[in-house]
């Protein structure tokens, strides 16, 4: 078997005379005993016939068979007739529903992918059912195999659905194997009769609950369900059941049943179970209706509501009487069977493909055309039943229908085969309309939204969502443009408002079309109702329905152009104007009616024009303009009058409205005709505001045509310059050069401007200031007008000049003393200068100050007083400085550089640079000793001991200077310290007297082990003693100074080991060692110089390994 979802739902109210469905006339008649004529016929039939007897000759008063009109069959009341053309409640009416009708409407409700060739096409007018499943096919695969069925011991009606299981592998006995199942729901609504009021309505003390004593017809509006199935084999009785589930139930792939969210499905209070039986004799032995109550029912979770059997069309009663049923008096109002069923007792033609186990005549090959006449239902193969849900007190909404076969009549019988399908009994239908098919922005329309309860149970309003109005529940705030929200009936749009079956709630509102609304305006409303209402709290299933309506918007629009036949004119000339008006509206816009067409020159163009200068007016537009016509024109001529503005602007304003609407749809257009206006201007700019004789000034003359755009080109008559002369013919004036004329003979306003440039060298005798004037004369082409202009510029001519002198004072200077010098500046020009003086010998260099003009501009004189007063503003300034005399002989002082700029007038670019330097004589009185002195004044410590000598000279004077003046004084320039002090010789680090003696006494050509030194090594050892002697000389308290670079050069050469570099660097240092040998040594710590002890020192340093190169 297969769960079937998504079948076609039909919600059609029954006609005035039809109020239900059943497949056999007996079933319908038994459940609907409500027509007086029908009851009379049934009494006649009951008098003349016995049950289970033939009745082919028994006809009604019109000569019609009571139940079968299309096939010969017995009139047994237990026969289930598939196509009897009988109406529910009236077997003589061929226009009402039958199972064949439902099959014709909905076809076979099959799993996806299964195609039934030749299945009937649904009719244009469907049946009258509220809900129908169609004919549900109970198999999965297209070939009809793999029928699914219940499995496990928990699959019982008395158990919760969560305990049910299904499978496709467990075989089902053929007699219990369902092939098809079906169900349909109807509302009885018989308005063809006028029943009497029930007696209870006349009894003040009677209980009239559930009885409508105002409109007795409402007592007939009951809800009926009809259901049925067919089975594979009829060789034995089969117990069967039919479930109506309130909550959705679906088959899961794992063999369980789940809800729509995939959660385990469970039983819901109010689910309905109808149990019955297939039997071979055709009689329904027992039929029971249960309601699932969860606990406390007549049978635990199930509560028995009603029992029934065969559908008995004889045991009816005329309305208002007290009939009997099975000899027992019935209720006094509208009796009848509330539940009954039928099984076919003879073979019946099957409307759909049906292949019973014991009949091979039916063609069920899906590849072949379907022929309904090939298939029949053998006796006891087809079951149908019905129940009056209203009479049984079973209300509310249902979602699914399940047909099942069971192992026995017991409530806890094991379930076998089943068919599951959707069976939604509650639904709503929304609709939406608007009172106009056409509107526009700013107009108001009225929308009507409504919803009808097309199901069987009252529903409760949860929301009304409208895409334009927003929340239409009463109390909600409507959206912009929405007004006059009205509900009919009043309050039906309130939260939780009840909507009864077949009732309608309608809401109207006005909406003003907003700017920006789309065209068309698509308006959608969605109603949502709930199944239950618990004191204002909505609960249960939700039911929604959506409807939409479109409103076309027309867009009125108009545009215009105004064109003159000339772009330039003058007083007395004629201009032709053409006005074109275009209807740019959407195609659905009504014609635009002209209200006014007002022209700033011609006046009212709808009535003609008498304005001065206007002539030849032709109006082709008329009174209105449609979008189909598109456009129209109005033309006239105008003669330009004295006093007309330039430009001559002409505007037309058009006012219209759409036919039938009051909206203003306006536009305007204008045209401008120039009465041309010639004009010219010029500028003259020098590239320097200040200059001096001999300097060059660059001049740029810019001529601009400022005329109106329609002015003809301006022709140059003359361009005369006060310095350069006639610029149109070139210039030969003195000092003028590089003349470039970019203007030519004329200038258009399109070009805009042009330039003439030239250079001028300031001449001796030029005026101060230097004024320069250019005059331009021109006229418009074709016109005699003079259009002239001029421009000038002025430059200041200055004569800046100053001197700078640097000189040495008090020569010669002693080496190591200060050298004094002067830097003297005198301004001999005619303008003050900003001076920036740069001299490395001056403290604080560079120095900035303003140097004024010296007294006597023609022959300025600076005195000692003016030079030394410290005030440069008088044009005379002298600065004194000093440096250390560190070079014996001629010592060069640094160059002093002055940059002078003019500060009196801003903008002069010239910089006046002056430089000077000086030399000073330096004498040196410092002491030095030769290498021989330092080499011999060493000792082994045995000669110079206490008390005759202090400790410092125990190892000779050389060691004293090394240890106390060099290694003991970390401020000495050539003393290094890496944790212990040393004297850096580049390639050697002297840290003791032993190291120094090894340098002095090492053999110049052999290593300490007797090995021969190479050339570079010999140079290193031979020059290291020269460097050591020089550093000892520098360390003397009055040692002669030496250029530090000479020392560094020798250190670097010794470190590199390059023979040539060593020799080159050693010479100047050796000369230094011999330069001060005649000067006495001054030892500020009082140390006396002992005599030499060369042998002792030599022995002390032996074997001289420190002097080795390797």
Question: CA 847, CA 912: separation in Å to the nearest integer?
Answer: 16
pLDDT (average), residues 749-760: 89
Across the range 296-307, mean pLDDT stands at 94
Instruction: Quote the pLDDT of residue 1.
Output: 31
323/509 Cα distance (integer angstroms): 54
Query: Which pLDDT score, from 0 to 100, does residue 288 have?
Result: 92
Per-residue pLDDT at 283 exceeds 70: no
Asked whether residue 579 carries a pLDDT value surpassing 80, the answer given is yes
CATH for 558-673 (3.90.650.10, 2.60.40.10, 3.40.190.10, 3.40.50.720): 2.60.40.10
pTM over 0.85: no
For residues 7 and 106, the answer to whether their CB atoms sit within 8 Å is yes
Into which CATH architecture does domain 685-795 fall?
Sandwich (2.60)
Contact call for residues 684 and 700 (beta carbons, < 8 A)? yes
Categorize the per-residue pLDDT at 8 as very low, low, confident or very high, splitting at 50, 70 and 90: very low
- Portion of the chain with pLDDT greater than 90, in percent: 32
Biggest CA–CA distance in the chain, Å, is 178
**First-residue to last-residue Cα distance in the chain:** 108
Lowest mean pLDDT among 66-75, 132-141, 1048-1057: 66-75
d(CA 509, CA 525): 12
Q: Closest by alpha carbon to 704, among 649, 753, 761? A: 753
On the CB side of 723, how many CA atoms lie within 13 Å of its CA?
29
pLDDT digits (tens, 9 = 90+) for 161-180: 999 999 987 778 888 899 89
Q: What is the pLDDT of residues 960-985, one digit of tens each?
A: 999 999 998 888 988 999 989 999 99
Instruction: Tell the residue number behind the tokens 């198999």, with chain if given.
Output: 139
Beta bridge partners of 580: 561, 633
Domain spanning 428-553: which CATH class is it, in words? mainly beta
Domain coordinates of the chain in residue numbers? 3-422, 428-553, 558-673, 685-795, 802-923, 931-1107
pLDDT at 162: 95
Name the β-bridge partners of 488: 506
Out of 166-170, 524-528, 923-927, the most confident range is 524-528
Read off the tokens for 790: 């001029």
**Euclidean distance between CA atoms 380 and 383, whole angstroms:** 7
pLDDT at residue 1026 greater than cutoff 80: yes
> 956: left (phi > 0), else alpha (psi -120 to 50), else beta?
left
pLDDT computed for residue 544 by the predictor: 93
If pLDDT is split at 50, 70 and 90, which confidence band does 214 have? low
Q: Which residue has the tokens 């006891």?
A: 380
| Residue 85 · residue 98 · CB < 8 Å | yes
pLDDT of residue 328: 37
**Whether the Cβ atoms of residue 348 and residue 73 lie closer than 8 Å to each other:** yes
Contact assessment for residue 396 and residue 389, using Cβ atoms and an 8 Å cutoff: no
Contacts of 521 (CB under 8 A, 6+ apart): 468, 513, 550, 551, 553
- pLDDT at residue 727, as a whole number: 87
Residues 6 or more apart whose Cβ sits within 8 Å of residue 82: 23, 98, 99, 100, 344, 348, 349, 350, 351, 377, 382
All residues at 6 or more sequence positions from 827 whose CB lies less than 8 Å from its CB, including other chains: 801, 802, 833, 851, 852, 853, 854, 860, 875, 876
Residues 747-759, mean pLDDT to the nearest whole number? 88
Long-range contacts of 538-546 (CB under 8 A, 24+ apart): 538/460, 538/462, 538/496, 540/396, 540/397, 541/246, 541/247, 541/397, 541/399, 541/426, 542/462, 543/397, 543/426, 543/427, 543/428, 543/455, 543/459, 544/428, 545/427, 545/428, 545/429, 545/430, 545/451, 546/430
Q: What pLDDT does residue 324 have?
A: 37
Sign of the dihedral through C-alpha 238, 239, 242, 243: negative
Collapsing DSSP to helix, strand or coil, 254 comes out as coil
370 or 1027, higher pLDDT:
1027
Q: How far is CA 10 from CA 105, 131, 347, in A?
A: 9, 5, 30
**Of 825, 844, 823, 843, nearest in space to 835 by CA:** 825
Give the integer Cα–Cα distance in Å for 947 and 852.
74
Within a 10 A sphere around the Cβ of 970, how many other Cβ atoms? 10
The strand pair at 339-343 and 300-310 is best described as parallel
pLDDT beyond 70 at 912: yes
Q: Six-digit token pair at 611? A: 């304005």
Specify the length of the chain in residues: 1110
In this predicted model, what pLDDT tens digit does every residue of 498-518 receive, in sequence order?
Answer: 999 889 999 999 999 999 989
- Range of lowest pLDDT (654-658, 888-892, 926-930, 1005-1009): 888-892
CB 1054 within 8 A of CB 1021: no
- 594 token code pair: 């002209």
Cα 78 to Cα 25, 281, 854, distances in angstroms: 10, 10, 148
The bridge status of strand 690-691 relative to strand 787-797 is: parallel
Ranking 110-124, 406-420, 1071-1085 by mean pLDDT, the lowest is: 110-124
Residue whose C-alpha is closest to residue 883's, from 871, 893, 896: 893
802-923: what fold?
A: Immunoglobulin-like (2.60.40)
Averaged pLDDT, 599-621: 88
What is the C-alpha R_g of the chain?
64
Query: Cis link prior to 812 (omega < 30° from 0)?
Result: yes
535 CA to centre of own chain: 46
The string of pLDDT tens digits covering residues 308-353 is 877 754 333 333 333 333 333 333 333 456 888 888 888 888 888 7
Asked if the model's pLDDT at residue 209 lies above 80, the reply is: no
Written in H, E and C, the secondary structure of 987-1044 is CCEECCHHHHHHHHHCCCCECCCCCECCHHHHHHHHHHHHHHHHHHHHCCCCECCCCH
Token code pair at residue 559: 């545009």
Q: Encode pLDDT of 42-96 as tens digits.
A: 222 223 332 222 233 333 322 222 222 222 222 333 333 343 333 333 333 445 5
* Helix/strand/coil percent split, the chain, to 5: 15, 35, 50
Q: For residue 38, what are its two tokens?
A: 């029908």
User: 518, 441 in Cβ contact below 8 A?
Assistant: no
Strand, helix or coil for residue 822: strand
- Residue 356: pLDDT above 70? yes
Q: What is the pLDDT of residues 683-710, one digit of tens each?
A: 999 888 888 778 888 899 999 998 878 7
Among 203-212, 559-568, 1068-1077, the range scoring the smallest mean pLDDT is 203-212
E-strand ranges in 467-520 read 470-471, 482-488, 498-499, 504-512
In sequence order, the 6+-apart residues with CB closer than 8 A to the CB of 1060 are none
Average pLDDT over residues 574-599: 90
- Average pLDDT of span 556-579: 88
Burial class from Cβ neighbours inside 10 Å (0-12, 13-18, 19+) for residue 97 reads: buried
pLDDT in tens, 236-282: 888 999 999 999 999 999 999 999 999 999 999 999 999 987 766 65
Give the span between the Cα atoms of 184 and 385, in whole angstroms. Answer: 11
pLDDT of residue 507: 95
- More confident position, 926 or 907: 926
Span of 316-320, 744-748, 1045-1049 with lowest mean pLDDT: 316-320
Do the two domains 685-795 and 802-923 of this chain adopt the same fold? yes
Distance in angstroms (rounded) separating the CA atoms of residues 37 and 16: 16
What does the pLDDT average to over 11-30?
Answer: 32
Average pLDDT over all residues of the chain: 79
Query: Taking 50 as the threshold, does the pLDDT of residue 425 lie above it?
Result: yes
| Dist. CA 798–CA 850, nearest whole Å | 17
């Amino acid at each position: 078997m297969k769960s079937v979802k998504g079948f076609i739902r039909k919600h059609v109210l029954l006609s005035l005379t039809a109020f239900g469905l059943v497949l056999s006339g007996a079933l319908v008649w038994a459940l609907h005993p409500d027509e007086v004529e029908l009851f009379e016929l049934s009494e006649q039939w009951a008098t003349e016939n016995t049950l289970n007897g033939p009745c082919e000759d028994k006809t009604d008063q019109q000569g019609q068979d009571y139940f079968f009109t299309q096939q010969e069959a017995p009139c047994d009341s237990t026969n289930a007739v598939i196509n009897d053309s009988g109406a529910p409640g009236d077997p003589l009416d061929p226009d009402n529903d039958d199972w064949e009708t439902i099959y014709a409407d909905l076809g076979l409700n099959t799993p996806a992918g299964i195609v039934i060739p030749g299945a009937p096409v649904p009719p244009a007018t469907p049946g009258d059912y509220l809900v129908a499943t169609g004919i549900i096919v109970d198999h999965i695969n297209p070939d009809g195999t793999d029928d699914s069925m219940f499995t496990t011991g928990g699959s019982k009606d008395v158990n919760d659905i969560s305990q049910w299981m299904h499978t496709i592998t467990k075989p089902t006995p053929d007699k219990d194997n369902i092939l098809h199942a079906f169900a349909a729901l109807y509302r009885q609504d018989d308005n063809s009769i006028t029943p009497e009021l029930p007696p209870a309505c006349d009894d003040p003390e009677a209980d009239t609950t559930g009885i409508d004593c105002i409109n007795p017809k409402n007592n007939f509006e009951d809800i009926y369900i009809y259901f049925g199935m067919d089975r594979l084999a009829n060789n034995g009785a089969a117990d069967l059941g039919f479930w109506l589930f309130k909550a959705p139930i679906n088959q899961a792939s794992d063999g369980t049943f789940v809800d729509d969210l995939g959660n385990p499905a469970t039983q819901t209070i109010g689910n309905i179970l109808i149990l019955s039986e297939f039997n071979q004799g055709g009689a329904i032995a027992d039929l029971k209706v249960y309601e699932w109550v969860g606990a406390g029912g007549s049978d635990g979770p199930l509560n028995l509501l009603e029992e029934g059997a065969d559908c008995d069309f004889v045991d009816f009663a005329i309305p208002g009487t007290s009939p009997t049923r099975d000899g027992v008096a019935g209720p006094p109002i509208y009796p009848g069977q509330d539940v009954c069923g039928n099984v076919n007792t003879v073979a019946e033609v099957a409307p759909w493909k049906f292949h019973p186990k014991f009949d091979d005549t039916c063609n069920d090959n899906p590849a072949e055309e379907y022929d309904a006449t090939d298939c029949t239902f053998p006796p006891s193969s087809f079951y149908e039943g019905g129940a009056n849900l209203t009479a049984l007190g079973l209300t509310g909404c249902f979602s699914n229908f399940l047909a099942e076969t069971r192992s026995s009549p017991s409530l806890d019988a094991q379930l076998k085969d089943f068919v599951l399908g959707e069976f939604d009994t509650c639904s709503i239908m929304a609709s939406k309309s608007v009172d106009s098919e056409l509107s526009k922005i700013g107009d108001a329309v009225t929308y009507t939204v409504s919803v009808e309860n097309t199901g069987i149970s009252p529903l409760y309003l949860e929301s009304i969502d409208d895409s334009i109005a927003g929340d239409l529940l009463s109390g909600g705030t409507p959206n912009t443009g929405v007004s006059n929200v009205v509900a009919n009936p009043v309050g039906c749009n309130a939260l939780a408002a009840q909507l009864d079956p077949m009732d309608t709630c309608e809401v109207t509102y006005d909406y003003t079309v907003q700017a920006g609304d789309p065209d068309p305006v698509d308006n959608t409303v969605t109603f949502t109702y709930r199944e239950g209402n618990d004191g204002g709290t909505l609960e249960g299933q939700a039911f929604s329905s959506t409807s939409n309506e479109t409103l076309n918007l027309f867009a009125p629009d108009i545009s215009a152009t105004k064109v003159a036949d000339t772009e330039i004119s003058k007083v007395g000339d004629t201009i032709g104007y053409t006005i074109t008006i275009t209807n740019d509206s959407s195609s659905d816009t009504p014609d635009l009616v002209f209200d006014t067409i007002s022209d700033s020159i011609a006046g009212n163009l709808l009535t003609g024009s008498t304005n001065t200068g206007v002539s030849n007016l032709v109006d082709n537009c008329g009174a209105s303009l449609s979008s189909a016509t598109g456009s129209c024109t109005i033309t006239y001529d105008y003669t330009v009058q004295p006093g007309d503005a330039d430009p001559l602007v002409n505007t037309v304003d058009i006012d219209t409205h759409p036919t039938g609407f009051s909206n203003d749809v306006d536009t305007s257009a204008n045209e401008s005709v120039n009465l041309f206006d010639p004009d010219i201007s010029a500028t003259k700019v020098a590239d320097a505001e200040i200059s001096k004789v001999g300097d060059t000034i660059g001049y740029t003359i810019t001529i601009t045509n400022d005329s109106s755009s329609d002015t003809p080109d301006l022709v140059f008559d003359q361009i005369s310059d006060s310095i350069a002369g006639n610029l149109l013919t070139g210039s030969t004036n003195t000092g003028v050069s590089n003349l470039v004329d970019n203007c030519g003979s004329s200038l258009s306003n399109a070009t805009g401007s042009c330039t003439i440039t030239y250079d001028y060298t300031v001449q001796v005798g030029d005026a101060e200031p230097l004024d320069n004037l250019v005059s331009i004369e021109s006229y418009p082409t074709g016109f005699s007008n003079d259009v002239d202009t001029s421009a000038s510029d002025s430059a200041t001519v200055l004569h800046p000049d100053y001197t700078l002198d640097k000189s040495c004072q008090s020569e010669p200077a002693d080496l190591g003393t200060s050298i004094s010098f002067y830097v003297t500046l005198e301004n001999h020009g005619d303008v003050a200068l900003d001076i920036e003086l740069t001299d490395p010998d001056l403290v604080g260099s560079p120095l900035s100050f303003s140097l004024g003009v010296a007294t006597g501009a023609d022959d300025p004189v600076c005195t000692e007083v003016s030079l030394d007063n410290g005030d440069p503003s008088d044009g005379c300034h002298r600065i004194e400085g000093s440096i250390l005399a560190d070079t014996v002989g001629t010592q060069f002082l640094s160059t002093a550089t002055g940059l002078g700029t003019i500060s009196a007038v801003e903008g002069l670019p010239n910089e006046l640079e002056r430089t000077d330097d000086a030399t000073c004589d330096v004498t040196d009185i410092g002491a030095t000793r030769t290498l021989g002195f330092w080499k011999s004044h060493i000792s082994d410590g045995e000669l110079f001991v206490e008390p005759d000598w202090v400790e410092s000279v125990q190892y000779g004077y050389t060691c004293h200077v090394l240890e106390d003046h060099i290694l003991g004084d970390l401020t000495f320039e050539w003393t290094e310290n890496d944790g212990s002090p040393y004297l850096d010789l580049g390639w050697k680090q002297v840290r003791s007297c032993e190291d120094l003696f090894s340098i002095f006494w090492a053999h110049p050509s052999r290593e300490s082990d007797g090995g021969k030194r190479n050339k570079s090594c010999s140079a290193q050892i031979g020059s290291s003693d020269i460097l050591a002697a020089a550093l000892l000389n520098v360390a003397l308290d009055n040692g002669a100074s030496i250029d530090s670079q000479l020392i560094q050069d020798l250190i670097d050469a010794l470190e590199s080991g390059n023979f040539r570099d060593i020799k080159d660097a050693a010479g100047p240092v050796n000369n230094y060692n011999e330069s001060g040998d005649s000067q006495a040594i001054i030892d500020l710590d009082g140390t006396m110089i002992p005599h030499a002890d060369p042998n002792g020192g030599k022995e002390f340093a032996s074997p001289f390994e420190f002097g080795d190169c390797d």
